[in-house]
Amino acid sequence: MRSLALVALALFGCATPSDQPTEKPVTPAKHELGTFSVSLAVKDLAASRAFYEALGFAVVAGVAEQNWLILRNGITTIGLFQGMLPGNSLTFNPGWDPQAKALRTFTDVRDLQRKFEANGVTLTSRADEATGGPAYFTLVDPDGNMILFDQHVPRAKS
């Protein structure tokens, strides 16, 4: 168990128990990639909902009859999707704050995909560049983890 704690400390840059907390908290400058959540491909939506509610999550959006729910605990958001995703996914929602409210300024999903492709990243699906409304694209990291950039709001006006 101690080795898992050390791995978490190394991965997330957390202070060791003997370290003193910093004076200034680290806060992001802006939501360039979008609000982050984890989308889980679940086998049984009701069982998964009950499990995560027992951990303290509460449903904040979704339609169980359509096999999807969004749950939140504090600033942590997870999506439960039964029969909708090929696997678990890291999800970014450009244009949304952590409560899924539209932001006035943000980096549009089409601008992100152009930036990533210019950096040599291969996309597995693309947002239509000719549109200005909601859109998404996907990519896969070197370990096979799917990453979804899913924008639900129109392009921000300049």
Residue 123 domain-assigned (yes or no): yes
Domain that holds residue 52: 33-151
Q: Are 136 and 150 in contact (CB under 8 A)?
A: yes
How many independent structural domains does the chain possess? 1
Q: At residue 137, does pLDDT exceed 70? A: yes
Secondary structure percentages of the chain, helix, strand, coil, to 5: 20, 30, 45
**Whole-number mean pLDDT of the chain?**
85
Domain of 73: which CATH number?
3.10.180.10
Residue 147 domain-assigned (yes or no): yes
- pLDDT, one tens digit per residue, over 9-63 is 333 444 444 455 555 555 554 548 999 999 999 999 999 999 999 999 999 999 9
Q: At residue 110, does pLDDT exceed 80? A: yes
Residue 110 domain-assigned (yes or no): yes
